[in-house]
Amino acid sequence: MRQDRRTFVKKAGKAGVAVALTPSLSLLNRNSVNVEVVNPLNRVPVSMIIDDSTCLVNMAHYGIPQFAAVFPDRYKQDWRKLPREIPDSFVREFGEWCIENGVKGKYSVVPYPACTGWVDRYIPGWTEKELKDSLNLIHEVILPNWDIHPEMISHTRVIDIKTGRPYPYASPDYMENWEWSQKKSADELASYQAYALQILKNAGLPCEGITTPGGYGGRNQENLAIGSFQAVRDVYGSEIPHYFRDLFIEKDQSVVPKVIFPNGRNNLSDCVVSIYGCTGDWFGGWDGLVPGDVNMFITEDLQSGRMTEVIDKGEPAVMVCHWPGIYFNGEKVGFNILKEITIRLNRKYNNLIWMKLSEIARYQAVKETTKIDISKNSIKLKATFDCKNFTIKTDSVIKKPVLNKNIFLNRIQSGDKLADNSFCPGKDGTLLCFDLKKGDTVIDF
């Protein structure tokens, strides 16, 4: 049975995406030499997705009564007891801790949060200065480590983008989380999503991707992919748009990002990347009802938990949470769980790299679009995009690799110390790491 992210178990519509997909080009064999594209710096990407965040407004306090108007039997809690605000003092504490500890990911800024007001203009209940200060704080402590996404426009009622007003119908067909998006064309979704993106652009926030609220687009995945590509390209001109819609918590389910080509394989530069979460929201949820559990992510003995399952497979391990749960009913329940997760991950692993969603998306897109040709004494790469810390592994020992005739890669002794413009020969072959530039690159050896 399909459920939306409100219940934290969401599966991708496998039959829904008919746009062209590409097989991985990461492993090629020429003249008995294998070259494989591996994770950046030969480390496993980890990241965090924060949903339901915005400026000042606690989305749970203002969203629950709107959800209850549509489904009164589902939403019976006393939402008035929830804090109306998630204060900027907490945003600062959280953001500064993330900078200090290298934690990265995606942070939503809902443009018209629960129909309270507009982040690029005015939110009733707070002064214009408080809104401006909140936006400045996002620039100061969130942007260094986090991508910014809209989570559609309101995350509650569907907005008539001709008038800027919510439709007057409290039904699933006019809620962003449920039915409205399921039969819309790619162009209709693109227009709606572009409206949300434009508000963030007006507010001075950069953006390369989109987050869907709840079940938005779950049964309309092909049009969602195309619409997300069009919207992000049109408003921001982003080279590699990405979006977050689905998460998988099943042990055997892969969470490798999916690179989608809306215009087909003839133009590799036109792609959009679907990023998958690998956990449920075990930080404290979005509604303030159930505290989280750190052991769902990684147990105290470091031997199990969803994060260990994914990391041990070498796939990007992207945790999912909701901002009201990080600030659980005014307490730092979810925040403290995140702190303990990082402590345990650092105790168990020395091969992790925290990345933003845009960085994960770019690396996957480059991995799947870069053409590799191997001759006796060289590796030739033709890249569609630039990529930092691009890392490949050969099954043969290379002693003196030279990048583009003039950059001698630095030899290091251990693969876990790999850095930009370096290589590490070993018994099983050679790791090479360098900044890949769009166009042609040659490694001679």
- What does the pLDDT look like over 350-409, one tens digit per residue? 999 999 999 999 999 999 999 999 988 899 999 999 999 999 999 989 889 999 999 999
Q: Over range 114-132, report the average pLDDT.
A: 98
> Where does the pLDDT of residue 29 fall: very low under 50, low under 70, confident under 90, or very high at 90 and above?
very low
Q: Which of 17-21, 299-303, 379-383 has the lowest mean pLDDT?
A: 17-21
In 3D space, the residue among 178, 122, 121, 126 whose CA is nearest the CA of residue 152 turns out to be 178
Residues 6 or more apart whose CB falls under 8 angstroms from that of 384 comprise 268, 269, 365, 366, 369, 370, 438
With 70 as the cut, is the pLDDT of residue 17 above it?
no
What Å distances lie between residue 239 and 17, 103, 242, 436, CA to CA?
21, 24, 10, 16
Whether residue 143 contacts residue 206, with contact meaning beta carbons closer than 8 Å, is answered with yes
Residues 6 or more apart whose CB falls under 8 angstroms from that of 31 comprise 374, 375, 376
Q: Over range 117-121, report the average pLDDT.
A: 98
With 50 as the cut, is the pLDDT of residue 12 above it?
no
The backbone region for 175, taken as left when phi is positive above 0, alpha when psi lies in -120 to 50, beta otherwise, is: beta
Q: Over range 155-169, report the average pLDDT.
A: 97
Q: How far, in Å, CA of 321 to CA of 5, rounded? A: 10
With 80 as the cut, is the pLDDT of residue 1 above it?
no
Count CA atoms closer than 13 A to 309's CA, side-chain side. Answer: 19
> Where does the pLDDT of residue 266 fall: very low under 50, low under 70, confident under 90, or very high at 90 and above?
confident
DSSP 24-81: --SEEEETTEEEEE-SGGG-EEEEEEEES--SSB-HHHHHHHHHHHH-TTT--S-GGG
What Å distances lie between residue 194 and 112, 175, 243, CA to CA?
14, 18, 13
Please state the separation of Cα 34 from the chain's center in Å. 31
Whether residue 304 contacts residue 297, with contact meaning beta carbons closer than 8 Å, is answered with no
Residue-wise pLDDT for 339-353, tens only, equals 999 999 999 999 999
Average pLDDT, the chain: 93
With 90 as the cut, is the pLDDT of residue 186 above it?
yes
Q: How far, in Å, CA of 54 to CA of 217, rounded? A: 21
Q: How far, in Å, CA of 323 to CA of 332, rounded? A: 11
Exposed (0-12), middle (13-18) or buried (19+): which is 15, by Cβ within 10 Å? exposed
With 90 as the cut, is the pLDDT of residue 177 above it?
yes
User: Cα angle vertex 38, ends 103, 310, to 5°?
Assistant: 55
Place of tokens 């606690």: 58
| Burial call 237-272: b when 16+ CB within 10 Å, e when fewer | ebbbbbbbbbbbbeeeeebebbbbbbeeeeebebbb
CATH T-level fold of 43-362: TIM Barrel (3.20.20)
The predicted pLDDT at position 399 comes to 87
Q: Which of 18-22, 303-307, 346-350 has the lowest mean pLDDT?
A: 18-22
The predicted pLDDT at position 427 comes to 84
Strands 422-426 and 410-411 come out as: parallel
With 70 as the cut, is the pLDDT of residue 181 above it?
yes
Q: Which of 14-18, 109-113, 318-322 has the lowest mean pLDDT?
A: 14-18
With 70 as the cut, is the pLDDT of residue 106 above it?
yes
Percentage with pLDDT > 70 across the chain: 93
Exposed (0-12), middle (13-18) or buried (19+): which is 153, by Cβ within 10 Å? buried
With 60 as the cut, is the pLDDT of residue 208 above it?
yes
Q: Over range 133-148, report the average pLDDT.
A: 98
With 70 as the cut, is the pLDDT of residue 32 above it?
no
Residues 6 or more apart whose CB falls under 8 angstroms from that of 411 comprise 422, 423, 424, 425
- φ/ψ of residue 35, rounded to 5: -130, 125
Tokens found for residue 162: 């001709």
Percentage with pLDDT > 90 across the chain: 88
User: Cα angle vertex 411, ends 409, 415, to 5°?
Assistant: 110
Sequence ranges of the chain with CATH classification 3.20.20.370: 43-362
User: Cα angle vertex 365, ends 438, 258, to 5°?
Assistant: 170
With 90 as the cut, is the pLDDT of residue 14 above it?
no
pTM (predicted TM-score): 0.93
The predicted pLDDT at position 4 comes to 53
What Å distances lie between residue 326 and 161, 426, 440, CA to CA?
32, 43, 45
Q: How far, in Å, CA of 106 to CA of 53, rounded? A: 10
With 80 as the cut, is the pLDDT of residue 275 above it?
yes
